[in-house]
Amino acid sequence: MSNQVLLFDTTLRDGEQALAASLTVKEKLQIAMALERLGVDIIEAGFPVSSPGDFESVRTIASHITQSRVCGLARALEKDIDACGQALSIAEQFRIHTFIATSEIHVNDKLRMSNDDVLDMAVKAIKHARKYTDDVEFSSEDAGRTDIDFLCRIVEAAINAGATTINIPDTVGYTTPTEFGGIIKTLFNRVPNIDKAIVSVHCHNDLGLAVANSLAAVENGARQIECTINGIGERAGNCALEEIAMIMKTREALLGYHTNIKTTEISRTSKLVSQLCNMPVQANKAIVGANAFSHSSGIHQDGVLKAQNTYEIMTPESVGINKNSLNLTSRSGRHVIKHRMHELGYKDNDYDMDRLYADFLQLADKKGQVFDYDLEALVFFDQNKQEQAFYKLQYLHANSGHNIVPTATVTLKMGEIEATEAATGVGPVDAAFNAILNASGLTNIDIVDFKLDSKGEGADALAQVSLIAEYKGRKFNGIGLATDIVEAGVNALTYVLNNTYLADQIDQQKQQQKIAGI
């Protein structure tokens, strides 16, 4: 049996299900490309039948990703599988992942079927998926609470039907490592054709055991782990990819397993997912938390200074954290910026040098000094500027102070039209938001969440505003970056306006197609 463990990333499917607002196609593609650069073996890009947007996202990702294998999720229904096949057909190689619940509580109370009916549906679904691809994965939902006899029976039938990967999910994070490892061991002992498929596991973190359960499964024969960046996902989340990857790298001599993950890409991928998904990483999070490589105790600090491995079992550099900060000024040339970006791990085609340098000079004039984290923030913000945006901020002026009613004036360009509006609010950000919404005419947008974060250190750090807005019953994410908090907030709201505009355009196209009978 191979000692390589495949990593199946479901950040864009299970992870996105937990977000307050859906990601755009462009945002999903950005994450998918980062996952490919990270070395993920299989990327579960979405659930194509769930919505036209998800279908388009999966198809777009399938057309761009070449090194990782792209996968789509489908219930054990022909229409789901057909949607997967159509969305993924553009890729040279792809996987269809079909599932059905098998635990007694799910079969009886949710599906209201018999075990025989469930098994029959699973077999038919797998055979239908094989019409599109030889790479079919079958999941026995809630396997952790499934009767072991029935689990063995349906796994054997699934492999006979053509499933090449069998996934055993601990869907509700109920099992313990010994218990879950025992389930995997039993399958290898009792299912006669188990060697014809790769056994995978998908563990949730409801009891904080997702990583431990996944490791126990590997030790008992599983060779694929389904996980997410930063452990995001339904409820308490999923097995964290960065933790599994670093456990296997750091303890390879003991465990004997390895992955294809390029660990120096971990930190950057974690930050990207955190920012795009508007899900901050807790400071004490293993591997990628802000405190993961910090030392407060004097004894610890003294030990690390004398020998780094006294209190660090892995280096910050091993996960892509560069400890050295580089002071740059407006006098720094393009070649210095390009060299620093290379040192940070970026390739030439990861960013637009002309736009980055122009943004750098503007920031350097405001701050005086620019640091590594500023450059990364500028790259991130540049990648999320919407091309050919309908709404563009032309002018912003805000005024506030003690015993002064906060006011703001904005000029907003909408296509070829410009509108200038002034408004008041409870604060300068609120006033600016009111002016923007009045100028756009979209006063029915409701801001339901607003987060302010500092991207950098000190009083001159960049401000990042992340907000969630509700419009026509849907939620939209917005991200804005600037040295000024009000400007960062307005950038975030403008980002939302452009997303709502695109959503309205898609809805109008669908309505026209419906009227035309297409």
Residue 413 and residue 359 share a domain: no
Place of tokens 């999910």: 169
Band the pLDDT of 431: cuts 50, 70, 90.
Answer: very high
Residue 367 and residue 303 share a domain: no
512 class by beta-carbon count within 10 Å (0-12 exposed, 13-18 middle, 19+ buried): exposed
Residue 449 to residue 474: CA distance in whole angstroms? 14
The count of structural domains within the chain is 4
- Is 282 among the domain residues? no
Q: pLDDT (tens digit, 9 = 90+) per residue, 34-59?
A: 999 999 999 999 999 998 889 999 99
Residue 342 and residue 214 share a domain: no
Q: What is the mean pLDDT of residues 83-102?
A: 96
Residue 228 and residue 352 share a domain: no
Identify the domain containing residue 357 by its residue range. Answer: 334-383
Q: What is the mean pLDDT of residues 210-217?
A: 98
Residue 189 and residue 244 share a domain: yes
Residue 307 and residue 249 share a domain: no
Q: pLDDT (tens digit, 9 = 90+) per residue, 325-349?
A: 456 788 788 888 888 888 777 778 8
Any idea which of 278-282, 314-318, 507-511 has the lowest mean pLDDT? 507-511
Residue 66 to residue 90: CA distance in whole angstroms? 11
CATH number of the domain where residue 433 is located: 3.30.160.270
Band the pLDDT of 190: cuts 50, 70, 90.
Answer: very high
Residue 181 to residue 196: CA distance in whole angstroms? 20
Residue 265 and residue 307 share a domain: no
pTM (two decimals) = 0.79
pLDDT at 414: 93
Cβ(230)–Cβ(285) below 8 Å: yes
Cβ(137)–Cβ(200) below 8 Å: yes
- Is 515 among the domain residues? no
Q: What mean pLDDT value characterizes the chain?
A: 89
Residue 395 and residue 379 share a domain: no
Q: What is the mean pLDDT of residues 76-82?
A: 97
Cβ(60)–Cβ(85) below 8 Å: no
Residue 270 and residue 409 share a domain: no
Residue 431 to residue 418: CA distance in whole angstroms? 19
Bridge partners for 413 per DSSP: 392, 418
- Is 443 among the domain residues? yes
Residue 473 reports pLDDT greater than 90: no
Q: pLDDT (tens digit, 9 = 90+) per residue, 122-155?
A: 999 999 999 999 999 999 999 999 999 999 999 9
- Is 517 among the domain residues? no
Band the pLDDT of 119: cuts 50, 70, 90.
Answer: very high
Residue 370 and residue 424 share a domain: no
- Is 204 among the domain residues? yes
Residue 309 reports pLDDT greater than 80: no
Residue 513 reports pLDDT greater than 80: no
pLDDT at 366: 73
pLDDT at 388: 60
Residue 402 and residue 486 share a domain: yes
Residue 126 and residue 24 share a domain: yes
Backbone phi, psi, residue 419, to 5°: -135, 135
CATH number of the domain where residue 139 is located: 3.20.20.70
**What is the residue type of 400?**
S
Residue 365 corresponds to which tokens in the numbers above? 């004039």
User: Can you state the angle between helices 372-383 and 353-367, rounded to 10 degrees?
Assistant: 130
Q: What is the mean pLDDT of residues 297-319?
A: 70
pLDDT at 463: 86
pLDDT at 333: 82
**What is the residue type of 60?**
T
Q: Of 383, 406, 422, which closes a domain?
A: 383
Place of tokens 């035309």: 516
